[in-house]
Amino acid sequence: MWISLLARRTAYASPLRWMLLGREFSSEIFVSRLSYYTTDEEFREAFLPFGSVKEARLIRDARTKRTKGYGFVTYESEAEAQKAIKAMDGRIFGGRLIFVETAKSRSKEDVP
């Protein structure tokens, strides 16, 4: 009994398991701290040098239609997304210091 319990615990604590499951890679990136005056074209063009952009969308306020200062970019591959993250994170864009990271998937509790 103790051996099977110990075997199960070590299987879950395996470093390889945490390396594979602990970090999710995605072809979608999240860009924050954008200028409120950033246009859709400027946003898309800024991320085109790093790969084939499937979609670049700025999030807008429903009432005012002004951008909220963040957006998402979806690439064809994870490698392109990682290249964009490395190149653009902490850069000045539109007069503002922006942050770029892998987009996190929303859980069912987060969706209104």
Does any domain span residue 73?
yes
The CA distance from 76 to 52, in Å, is: 6
Residue 28 sits in a domain whose CATH number is 3.30.70.330
Task: Give the pLDDT confidence score for residue 2 in this predicted structure.
Answer: 46
Does any domain span residue 108?
no
Between 19-23, 72-76, 77-81, the lowest mean confidence (pLDDT) is in 19-23
Which residues constitute the domain of residue 40? 24-102
Render pLDDT for 28-61 as a digit per residue (tens, 0 to 9). Answer: 999 999 999 999 999 999 999 999 999 999 999 9
- Nearest in space to 98 (alpha carbons), one of 36, 28, 27: 36
Render pLDDT for 80-94 as a digit per residue (tens, 0 to 9). Answer: 999 999 999 999 999
Number of domains in the chain: 1
pLDDT above 70: residue 9: no
Q: Locate tokens 């995605």: which residue?
A: 26
